[in-house]
Structure formats: C-alpha cells, structure tokens
Amino acid sequence: MPRASHCPCSTRSLPSASSGSASPAAAETAAPVPRAPGVAFRGCRSISMRPGSYTPRGASKGRTSCGRECLRPWMLPILVAPFVGSFLGVLIRRLPDSRPVAWGRSACESCGAALAARDLVPLGSFLALRGRCRTCAAPIAGFHPAVELAALGVACAAALAAPDDPARLWIGCGLGWALLALAWIDWEYLLLPDAITLPLVPVGLAVALWL
C-alpha cells in the first residue's frame, strides 16, 4: 500500500484492493504527497529544515526571539559618553585648582547653590533649564555641554573605528577621554596634571604592546 502523507490534515484512507469497484469518495482520494529531503510538515505547511532557511514568525535579523533589539557593542559607550563628559568637566575645573574631585558637591558658579540630581543630567538638564540656573537664573557656562558633546564625539569616533570589537572600543574611548581632559586643561591653564598624565603613561604603553 502506498505510504500516506506525513501531513496530518491530508491523510486519507485508500480503497481496498479486494473491493469490486471504487466508490466516488474513494475516487477523490489524493495521491500521497512526496516528502522532499530536508522538509518537515507542520499542519498543512511544509517548512524547510535547511540551516538558515526558516525564520520563526516575529523574528528578524538583529532581534531576539522575544522581538527586542540586541544590544550592539558600540551602543553602551555612546550612551555612557555624556556622563563621562560631565565627570571630565569636573576634572577640568577642579584639578588645576587642587580642589577635591570626588567629595565636593557641584554648585552654581554664580550663586553657589548646590545642584540637585535633576540638575546634573548631562545635556538634558541644560536643555530643560534653557541654559540658566534653577535658583538664580544666571546663565550656565557653555563649557559643560561642550565637554559632554566632545566626549560623545570621542565615543562615536571609537565606535566607527572598532564597532564590533568591545575591547578596542572601550580602550579607544578611555584613552580618548583622558586625552580630551588633558587637552582642555592644557588649553585653558597651560598645565598637564600628574593625576592624569602619570597613570596614562604605563596604560598607553601596555595598550600599545597588547594591540
């Protein structure tokens, strides 16, 4: 007897060889569906099982099974860059004056009012306050968004140079951000602080030998 189709929706019984004549229902019996190699049946749909030939519904290139975008290696440095730029602004303002970097609170340069967390969001706070202090309405120096944008530019350049190599990407961002702070301090104060230059020498040599 011929083998029935592997599709459960199309399996039908064939007429018996001992019957004298075929009934009209038996005449409508379809021939068995040939099964091609590498093809599986799911319901009434044939699905190719060859590698890379079947993509589940809702899935696409660059997406996980739940449909969320995969995090690319270059996305995180770009998201972190404005916050790094805000910290670099603190280094640029405080290191030349030998002021504490980690413990001193940020304050308005005009009225001296301490800044809250909502006033320290990189780029966002400057735009939300329209470039003015929340307390005294004095203009905020354009230095702060400029450093944050410069740090973002460093991250974008590193992402273009090594988009798929996280190690090279983060090393490029770290060295670029350190050189950005040094260049800015040198431009304004004609000074290269030892707190940045001394650690940068062995780190730069190690990276050069490793890469």
Q: What is the pLDDT of residue 58?
A: 46
Tell which wins on pLDDT, 158 or 39: 158
155, 173 contact by CB (below 8 A)? yes
Mean pLDDT value across residues 161-190: 93
Helical ranges in the chain per DSSP H = 24-27, 75-94, 124-128, 143-161, 166-189, 194-210
Find residue 42's DSSP bridge partners: 45
Mean pLDDT value across residues 63-83: 74
Q: How many other C-beta atoms can be found within 10 angstroms of the C-beta atom of residue 159?
A: 21
Tell which wins on pLDDT, 174 or 26: 174
Find residue 45's DSSP bridge partners: 42
DSSP 138-171: PBPPTHHHHHHHHHHHHHHHHHHH-TT-HHHHHH
- For the chain, what percent of residues have pLDDT higher than 90? 38
Tell which wins on pLDDT, 177 or 31: 177
Give the separation between CA 32 and CA 4, rounded to whole angstroms: 5
Q: What is the pLDDT of residue 65?
A: 42
Mean pLDDT value across residues 110-136: 89
φ/ψ of residue 178, rounded to 5:
-65, -45
